[in-house]
A and B are shown apart, each in its own frame.
Chain A
Amino acid sequence: MSLRKLLLPLLIAAASTTHAAKTDLVLGMQLEPPNLDPTGGAAAAIDEVVYANIFEGLTRFASDGSVQPALAKSWEISDDGLTYTFTLNTGVKFHDGSDFDAQDVKFSLDRARAETSTNAQKQLFAGIENVEVSDAETVVITLAAPNGALLFNLAWGDAIMLSPDSFDKAKTDPVGTGPFTFSKWVQGDRIEIARNPDYWGEAAKLEKATFKFISEPTAAFAALMAGDVDAFPVFPAPENLPQFEADPRFQVVVGSTEGETILSTNNKQPPFDNKLVRQALAHAIDRKAIVDGAMFGYGTPIGTHFAPHHPAYVDLTGNSAYDPEKAKALLKEAGFEEGFTTTLKLPPPSYARRGGEIIAAQLREVGITTEISNLEWAQWLEQVFRGKDYGLTIVSHTEPMDIGIYAKADYYFQYDNPDLQSLMSDLESITDPAMRTQSLQKAQQIISDDYVNGYLFQLAKTGVANADIVGLWENSPTQANDLTAVYWK
């Protein structure tokens, strides 16, 4: 008997075992969440780990951005639009074994909208007047005024359901109702989750998933190439995408995000309190050069704070077309013929650092000098977002439908326009879709005409994954990495 005959069956056996589909997944993320409680922090990275995996709300966002039933299987809306009666799914358990029922809904919503609540998106619950438990499976939410966005609001990560027994541990040891349970968090490295065997809905296909945090684009590239990471839903270096595209081991999926990338302008800091100056800024910016230079072509130019793939979007890029001569004329009209000097504070992502260098060069062309300082996220949050100590900055606002931030006069760009504020507060009570669209379009027009910020481009979701992975979201309608439907071919 030859050696070959002896080895052949062994080889076949080996080959067939390696062919069995993998059931674990390592997902790369650039930023590590500060904690794991989506009701207690604004960081996108929190939802990117826990949303739809560990925690669920009454409703949820599907991959196409539509609002779908989640823990509530159905609801009825009274004719006056003030009373929502939610019927909950039965047999739902928290990961600690306790039952999920209407009491938990009341607890979670009351906690989120309470005076003392630290919820980062408290305005989502603003219109709720009362949450009432009618029986274990039925909750009645009463509103002060009709709110066409309630079901949408309840789908946010900030509106997920917590149990009164375990809510205080959510930051480090989250207990939810989702298809995955929290396993462990190695700070600075990774978070592991495992399939929930007692899940009330359709079970996840993966047995285990790991979120691995890699902040350096070069390290992210190496990790994917080496197979240490199976997928990077938002790959941080767009310049590397062609290499992944050329490699049959990978699939590159470029989708849309809710990230309006803007040149945020401190509307209260002179000279930006002068609308002519802001208009000059807008005309000094060449969006195409920024998308090509900073994002290597990935990104859609925008002319207002709204996602281009949304049906209510109005293309207002023409309102602030690239025209350096006009920018100079406007500066002259505003009394800044000689230009001026301002600060440009940039957070770490490459869209900001590279975009900032390009914008600095473009502003220099019209006589505006910018002093660039590169900040870490913590410094940026402290100085710019909370401290409002900046002239210009670049950041991507990734929350869905966040044009409402323009109605907050104390928001970091300090835009204070009563017309827009009343428009946005009226919008809350409008339930008719056509009328909502009309209001949203009017709001887009107002902020574009006021040149509140420099509107640059909509961030693309530059996803890179192993070619055998199926079921990752193509777009990012919300901040999430929903792994429920993900599996290996």
Chain B
Amino acid sequence: MESGIFRRNLVIGAVLALIFLLAAIVSFFWTPYDVTQLDIANKLKKPGSQYWFGTDHFGRDIFSMIMVGARTSIAVAIVAVGIGLTVGVPLGLAAAAWRHSLLDELIMRSNDLVFAFPALLIAIMITAVFGPGAVNAIIAIGIFNIPVFARLTRGAALSLWTRDFILAARTAGKNAFRISVEHILPNIVNLLIVQGTIQFSLGILAEAGLSYVGLGAQPPIPSWGRMLAESQTMISFAPHLALFPGFAIVLTVLGLNLFGDGLRDYFDPRLRQQSR
């Protein structure tokens, strides 16, 4: 019964996320209109058959902008999570392998330092120093992902290090590096995938937040957050300007979270056992 709910989360989440992923991929080859082409004469058109989601204050097609905006969001989030994984996971593995050593302390305390700042604050700080733009947004969001993965990896790895099969591997003469790569890592992949999905949705939210305050992708590259920011003064007479990018952000984040939850329940055998 309840495992049905888990399955439903997984499916709904996957469908929502896939819709936006597809939109992003298709936008490379085709959009209904060119998003860099302004058409002032057709500005602020209501949604209809000609423009499915209407046009913005420059006469750009909002449907096309949502498609290309999905590309911006997803690209930023993927690379940011990638940075978090590639830097955070090895750090976490190393900290667990040489636990309670100086190295462990060094890694985890510098993680705490980064973690202590609210993520968006770090992002604003970085973009303020190095200038606004998609690349700096990626780096900013990526940096705040590092401690998340490092911590998760260390915690999970620590509990594995006490297990018998690791002891067996040690007696077989494997060093800490090989054990980490060959035994620890494969056993925490599920965990990382679930966390990766959650971080991915947070990355999309962070990108939207950064471009909302003007620190994300710069014009003319469409981005959902900037579309929202620009719609503000027009919301009372052209609400479609805010509604569509708003829905895009909500549905993507919701989809990814549901998907992540579903995955966690699917991967976690204990939870599945309990629910039976």
Contact = CB atoms under 8 A, between A and B. Distances in A.
B31 to A, nearest CB: 16
A358 B59 CA distance: 11
Interface string B28-57: 000000001110110100000000000001
B2 to A, nearest CB: 45
B36 A239 contact: no
Contact of A361 (B220, B232, B233, B234): B220
A218 B228 CA distance: 13
B132 A373 contact: yes
B214 A374 contact: yes
17 contacts: A218-B232, A239-B234, A240-B233, A242-B237, A243-B236, A289-B38, A293-B38, A293-B40, A293-B59, A358-B40, A358-B58, A362-B38, A364-B36, A371-B218, A372-B218, A372-B219, A374-B132
A364 B221 CA distance: 14
Given A240-B233, A243-B236, A243-B237, A374 B218 contact: yes
A358 B233 contact: no
Contacts of B132: 373-374
Interface string B47-84: 00000000001110000000000000000000000000
A373 B237 contact: no
B209 to A, nearest CB: 16
B155 interface: no
A203 B37 CA distance: 56
B239 interface: no
A364 B232 CA distance: 27
Nearest to A216: B232
Contacts of B220: 357, 360-361, 372
A289 B40 contact: yes
Given A289-B38, A358-B38, A221 B218 contact: no
Contacts of B233: 217-218, 221, 237, 239-240
Contacts of B38: 289, 293, 357-358, 361-362
Contacts of B37: 361
Given A239-B234, A357-B58, A358-B40, 20 more contacts: A237-B233, A239-B237, A242-B237, A243-B236, A292-B43, A293-B40, A293-B58, A293-B59, A354-B57, A354-B58, A356-B219, A361-B36, A361-B37, A361-B220, A362-B38, A364-B36, A372-B218, A372-B220, A373-B131, A374-B132
A217 B232 CA distance: 9
Contacts of B40: 289, 292-293, 358
A239 B57 CA distance: 9
Interface in A218-242: 218, 221, 237, 239-240, 242
Interface string A289-320: 10011000000000000000000000000000
A293 B232 contact: no
Interface of A: 217-218, 221, 237, 239-240, 242-243, 289, 292-293, 354, 356-358, 360-362, 364, 371-374
Contacts of A371: 218
B258 to A, nearest CB: 32
Interface in B102-147: 131-132
Q: Which 10 A-B pairs have the closest CB atoms?
A: A293-B40, A237-B233, A361-B38, A289-B40, A218-B232, A217-B233, A357-B219, A292-B40, A372-B219, A372-B218
A217 B236 CA distance: 13
A189 B224 CA distance: 31
B161 to A, nearest CB: 49
Interface of B: 36-38, 40-41, 43, 57-59, 131-132, 214, 218-220, 232-234, 236-237
Contacts of A243: 236-237
Q: Is the interface of A mostly helix, strand, loop or mixed?
A: helix
B228 to A, nearest CB: 12
Contacts of B234: 239
Contacts of B214: 374
Contacts of B237: 239, 242-243
Contacts of B131: 373
Nearest to B218: A372
A283 B231 CA distance: 30
A239 B241 CA distance: 13
A32 B234 CA distance: 25
A289 B237 CA distance: 21
B244 to A, nearest CB: 18
**A221, A293, A356, A362: residue with the most chain B Cβ atoms closer than 10 Å:** A293
B212 to A, nearest CB: 12
Interface centre among B57, B131, B219, B220, by most chain A C-beta atoms within 10 angstroms, is B219
Contacts of B43: 292-293
Contacts of A354: 57-58
Contacts of A217: 232-233
Contacts of B59: 293
A420 B207 CA distance: 50
A371 B131 CA distance: 13
Contacts of A361: 36-38, 58, 220
Contacts of A293: 38, 40, 43, 57-59
Given A239-B57, A293-B40, A373 B218 contact: yes
Nearest to A246: B237
Contacts of A358: 38, 40, 58
A357 B65 CA distance: 15
A356 B214 CA distance: 14
Contacts of B218: 371-374
A292 B44 CA distance: 12
B245 to A, nearest CB: 16
A217 B235 CA distance: 12
Contacts of A239: 57, 233-234, 237
A362 B59 CA distance: 14
A216 to B, nearest CB: 8
